[in-house]
Amino acid sequence: MRNGGDLVVETLTELQASTVFGIPGQHALGLFDALTRSKLQFVSSRVENNAAFAADGYARATGQPGILFVSTGPGALTALAGIQESYASGVPMIVVSSQIPEAGLGGRRKGMLHQLDDQKESARNVTKSQETVHKASSIPYVIEDAWRTAMTAPQGPVWVEIPQDVLLQSTSVPPPGAIDMQLHQPQPHGGSIEQAARILAAAKRPAIVAGGGVHRSGSATEHLRQLAELISAPVICTPGGNSAFPYDHPLSMGGWIEDNYVTEALEDADVLLAVGTSLGEVSSNYYTLQPRGEIIQIDAHVRVLESNYSGLGIRSDASSAMQKILQALETSGDIPTSNWHGKTAEQFVADVRQRINDRLASQDLAHELGVMRSIRTALPDDALSYWDMTIAGYWAWNMWDARTGAMHSGQGAGGIGYGFPAAFGGAVGQQRVLAVSGDGSAMYSIAELAAAKQHNLPVTWLIIDDGGYGILREYMQDTFGEATATELARPDFVMLSESFGVPAVATNAAELETALQTAWAADGPNVVVLQTTLAMWQPTHQQSASTP
């Protein structure tokens, strides 16, 4: 017997989905039963928040939407903090939640299990669209629309909820058959492109900030490289945009967006091109950035345009806009020759990098730099890594050279516990993946060791144990002279991992590289515990902080 659940999985299959994340619940059983009649692979989690992170990690690794099945009420609500990350970072996801039976919808207080007054209203803050399905015949179309909405820039999560009885009722609605999967990404207006090309053609010191929007957009990284080279513009990537531009390119300022030598370079630019970034808190070095030149901002999200700095806002998919600017510049033949106060852009960039390195070398940071170096050296060039909100993660935002791989972090919404579940989502059907968490953030997702073991996912989880909420400890000590509520009782992470059947080893900074290499060569999930305290670098933004 086919039912509403079958229509969901048949449509997802037609849309090329292959993996579903989530946790079942009583109202969602029709959905999960239908999985047995499909080719979709189900990867379970132990907490919905983590299932959402896993779907996010999968989407970032594959470019396909993460599919998440959750149950009504508490299941749905528990997923929301994870979905917030995908919403903030523009990661495509289709969330299919069950709902109470039709008869209870509309805020009636029937006292049904899991009943909320208006479930989809709760999802509104963290999803691009929300739809309650009432009739089986609309299921294939709602799922198709959800896929289209999730995958159209600005990408993001969408919410579909289906009442228990609609999922369970037998149906004669046919499977959808082939679906036209062409997407129409938002295109820039010609007038804006011409103006952007004119501004760039007249630039003497153009510079580019590349954000996460570049990653989510077709061949945007290639167009970014061509454009930067054509106009000789120094490029800096935001944490979300890490590796959108090759880290070691002669025009790459590296990653130190939180160093005011980079801030000053961006302020000195007479034209600042921001692509796929809001120039938000971290990307503006905590709003200390005060650009003096003209700003061109390309983003698929109209609300991002000029949200922090005024300028020429271009609503577009990043790839299309950069390609069109390139064409306009090439057609006009008006190619600017950049001149950074008598230096070439490459010399200027080399100077900025040198000054940042000198600044770091002048602080007592050999231990931190050594740990980061060990992690990088232990991994192959094409490794994928997922970083939690932990001190090593903040270092990675600024100095991780992803080489031919990629790094991802939960920096969009900043919720802790992202690293491990996102990494095992990224590891589904892929090569081995690294997760990095602190002891505090690890506890959020520790239950997922069971999921990683169950699916034998190739994830190496580095847990850096500094005895508590290290970053908050630093902030509180600096601000109040003492830290409160930051010290934590922790389990023995090695013994705990082993109790899940996941091999684990304790290591120290000197042996970290070897420990990671050994873990990397093994099969299935494993854990490396590094007991150490990492410090932050001296922030460069605090003296001159001001909000635009």
Ligand X SMILES: Cc1ncc(C[n+]2csc(CCOP(=O)(O)OP(=O)(O)O)c2C)c(N)n1
Which residues in this chain contact Mg ion in the complex, by CB under 5 A?
438-440, 466, 470
Q: Work out how close the CB of 440 gets to ligand X at its nearest, in angstroms, rounded to a whole number.
A: 3
Beta strands in 30-145 (DSSP E): 41-44, 66-70, 93-99, 130-132
Which residues sit at the interface with ligand X, rule CB under 6 A? 388-391, 414-416, 437-441, 466, 469-472
**Least gap, CB of 186 to Mg ion (angstroms):** 41
With CB under 5 to 8 Å by kind, the binding choice for 356 among ligand X, Mg ion, none is none
Cβ(186)–Cβ(63) below 8 Å: no
Q: Please tell me whether residue 424 adopts helix, strand or coil conformation.
A: helix
* Binder of residue 389, out of Mg ion, ligand X, none (CB less than 5 to 8 A by kind): ligand X
**Closer CB to Mg ion, 343 or 367, in the complex:** 367
Please choose, from the candidates 453, 500, 504, 419, the residue with its C-alpha nearest in 3D space to the C-alpha of residue 45: 453
193 contact, one of ligand X, Mg ion, none, CB 5-8 Å limit per kind: none
Least distance in Å: CB of 464 to Mg ion? 7
Q: How far is the CB of 57 from ligand X (least distance, A)?
A: 17
SS3 434: strand
Measure Cα distances from 255 to 30, 271, 394 in Å. Answer: 47, 20, 11
| CB closer to ligand X, 348 vs 397 | 397
Dihedral of CA 52/55/57/60: which sign?
A: negative
Q: Closer CB to ligand X, residue 381 or residue 487? A: 487
415 binds, among Mg ion, ligand X, none (CB under 5 to 8 A by kind): ligand X
Binding site partner of 416, from ligand X, Mg ion, none, Cβ cut-off 5-8 A by kind: ligand X
Minimum distance between the CB of residue 237 and ligand X, rounded to whole angstroms? 22
Angle between helical axes of 512-521 and 366-378 (0-180°, round to 10): 20
Please report how close the Cβ of residue 10 comes to ligand X at its closest, in angstroms.
Answer: 36
**Residue whose CB is less far from Mg ion, 161 or 368:** 368
Token pair belonging to 490: 């922790």
Q: Does residue 173 contact residue 198 with C-beta atoms inside 8 Å?
A: no
Closest approach of Mg ion to the CB of residue 256, in Å: 23
Distance of closest approach, residue 200 Cβ to Mg ion, in angstroms: 44
Question: What residue spans of 63-138 are helical by DSSP H?
Answer: 74-89, 119-123
Closest CB to ligand X: residue number: 438
Please choose which of Mg ion, ligand X, none residue 472 contacts, taking the beta carbon within 5 to 8 angstroms, the exact cut-off set by kind: ligand X
CA distances from 385 to 187, 277, 302 (A): 32, 21, 30
Q: Which does 471 bind (CB under 5 to 8 A by kind): ligand X, Mg ion, none?
A: ligand X
297 backbone dihedrals φ, ψ, rounded to 5°: -125, 120
Q: Toward ligand X, which CB reaches closer, 176 or 414?
A: 414
Closer residue to Mg ion in complex, CB, 309/420: 420
Fill in the DSSP letter of residue 155: P
Which two three-digit tokens encode residue 256? 């130190």
User: End-to-end alpha-carbon separation of the chain, Å?
Assistant: 60
What does 391 interact with, of Mg ion, ligand X, none (CB < 5 to 8 A by kind)? ligand X
Q: How many CA atoms lie within 13 A of 154 on its CB side?
A: 25
With CB cut-offs between 5 and 8 Å by kind, which of Mg ion, ligand X, none does residue 258 bind?
none
Q: Choosing among ligand X, Mg ion, none, which partner's interface includes residue 317 (Cβ < 5 to 8 Å by kind)?
A: none
Q: Smaller CB distance to Mg ion: residue 317 or 439? A: 439
Burial 446-461 (b: 16+ CB within 10 A, else e): bebbbbbebbebbbbb
In the bound state, the residue with its beta carbon closest to Mg ion is 438
Determine phi and psi for 244, rounding to 5 degrees. Answer: -65, -20
CB of 53 to ligand X, least distance (A): 11
Smaller CB distance to ligand X: residue 485 or 545?
Answer: 485
**CB closer to Mg ion, 385 vs 441:** 441
Could you tell me the strand order of the sheet in which 235-237 lies? 235-237, 206-210, 271-275, 294-299, 312-315
* Nearest approach, Cβ of residue 416 and ligand X (Å): 4
Q: Which residue, 29 or 443, is less far from ligand X as judged by CB?
A: 443
